[in-house]
Amino acid sequence: MSVLLTATCAVPAAGAVVTAALPAGTTEARRRTAKTAALGFSAATLALAGAVAVRFDPEGARYQLTESYSWIRSFGITFSLGVDGIGAVLALLTAVLVPVVLLASWHDADPAAPAPASAPEGTFENRRRTQGFFALVLAVEAMVIVSFYATDVFVFYVFFEAMLIPMYFLIGGFGDRAGGPESDRQRSYAAVKFLLYNLLGGLVMLAAVIGLYVVAQDQGLATFDLPTLTGAVADGRLQFSGPAEKALFLGFFFAFAVKAPLWPLHTWLPNAMGEATAGTAVLITAVVDKVGTFAMLRFCLGLFPDASKTFAPAILVLSVIGIIYGALLAIGQKDIKRLVAYASISHFGFIIMGIFALTSQGQSGATLYMVNHGISTAAWMLVAGFLISRRGSRLIADYGGVQKVAPVLAGTFLIGGLATLSLPGLAPFVSEFLVLVGTFTRYPAVGIVATLGIVLAALYALLLYQRTMTGPVKEGVSGITDLKARELAVVAPLVALTVLLGVYPKPLTDLVNPSVNATLSQIHQTDPAPAHPVADHGTAQDGTARSGGEHK
């Protein structure tokens, strides 16, 4: 039995413990030790996650590199891990982004002022203690990766909820320093709102998890093992009554829709992203929130296929509302980070629409969208964070003419914005195109309305660039410096991936397509036949042969 998946999950967890245990202090040398240790553990995790993706065989079994360890035998709970193509890709995305976040956040947890000479060592500004910040980031990484690899429903639930705790402290304890005098109060509000929303979703899901076990136990399947349960659903050994399946589906879906987030359960996201540091904001929208959309594919569709098809039209309506609503509110924002947050709400609408279009193009596009949105939004948000840290303000009105004093910063910010509006040649275009095509083939009206989101995305992305980067240099902007070597090292790989996956997405599609096809097969769903099939060679659509352009 391979232990590669366990190692990939254990390394960041061990890194969190080691980093947190390093001697506390206010000296730069001690802070640098904690930062370097965390970065080293995240790099090792990236190597392991890359090895998992490389070893995954798209032509092989649905779940590969499986591991299982007995945990709570009386309830059939095992610590079971296994990876499919979608999980492999999203775990790799997480492993790519965490070192980038750590490097971008290199000074985010430094003390705001030098320690007084009389301050006892290790007690000054504990709230911003470097070891704590970097350890919490690694803890989030470990829990997210376990969620992508878990093949036991109960294990998934535990880590789905556990990741809320380090995220709560990252938002509430290490927030944005550009928030003004009300910053501490607003940050605490954002952290509590994030926690309460997601805990509510988790409590509803817990009831559904218990209900699933009770129903399965009554039919001789006293287990939480996901492949066993989905296989039993597919071959009829596990059957739900109509109301029971709908109730269980809604219990799972509600929790995932809060985390994703889907309109109208989205209101915690702008607060959390606005008050968090730029690095933490990337963790929220590019890493943690992806667990929600991933779980819709793995659990909602796999365990409750009939309910998924029943609720799909309603979910598509909510998705389209989210697309338009998020984009419109992004256009009207005065705060740069909140604009990015509302843009993400719009993008998550596209992802969820692709999932519940129940077509191969839609679901492949949705999976690619998770990856591409993570990369492009990380680039956009981190460059915005660099800009905000220089000027000390999140307000769009405080900027203007930045491209004249910091051209590289402005250029990378433009690339992030163009990726957000899905410019052809950049990664998000491929995924958004697939989502729209997949949706249109089954729900043409929904696909048509959703295209309005593309137009609105161009408005909020280009208007933000115009207002902040062009025009005369405003007071307070002239002192802004261009990107430094560390910041270039953060942005360069994200820009490179955005371009590479925009022109050559095949490595990702090869990994995810077999898992998408397996999901559609589980729910007995096929792609709609073309309304007007193309005639075969020399054959008219009415079946008669043609020769020389005439009927014989």
> Cα torsion at 66, 71, 72, 73 (round to 10°)?
60
pLDDT in tens, 215-274: 988 888 888 889 999 888 888 888 888 899 999 999 999 999 999 899 998 999 998 998
Cβ count within 10 A of residue 192: 15
Q: Which residue has 């995790």 as its token pair? A: 45
DSSP of 35-60, one letter per residue?
HHHHHHHHHHHHHHHHHHHHH--TTS
Distance CA 354, CA 316 (A): 9
**In whole numbers, what is the pLDDT of the chain averaged over residues?**
87
Is pLDDT of 113 > 70?
Answer: no
Q: Which is it for the CA torsion 403, 407, 408, 409, positive or negative?
A: negative
Bridge partners of 68? 80
Enter the pTM of the model.
0.88
Alpha helices in 406-505 (DSSP H): 407-420, 427-442, 444-450, 452-469, 485-503
pLDDT in tens, 115-137: 444 444 444 444 347 888 899 99
H or E element, residue 81: strand 77-83
As given in the structure block, the two tokens for residue 14 are 């061990």
DSSP of 333-373, one letter per residue?
-SBHHHHHHHHHHHHHHHHHHHHHTTSHHHHHHHHHHHHHH
> Cα torsion at 211, 358, 326, 147 (round to 10°)?
50
Distance CA 16, CA 283 (A): 16
Predicted local distance difference test score (pLDDT) of residue 534 = 53
216: nearest Cα among 155, 159, 153, 157: 153
pLDDT in tens, 37-84: 999 999 999 999 999 999 999 888 889 999 989 888 888 889 999 999
Q: Say how far residue 243 (Cα) sits from the centre of its chain.
A: 31
Distance CA 320, CA 346 (A): 9
Q: Which residue has 């909510």 as its token pair? A: 318
Bridge partners of 69? 79
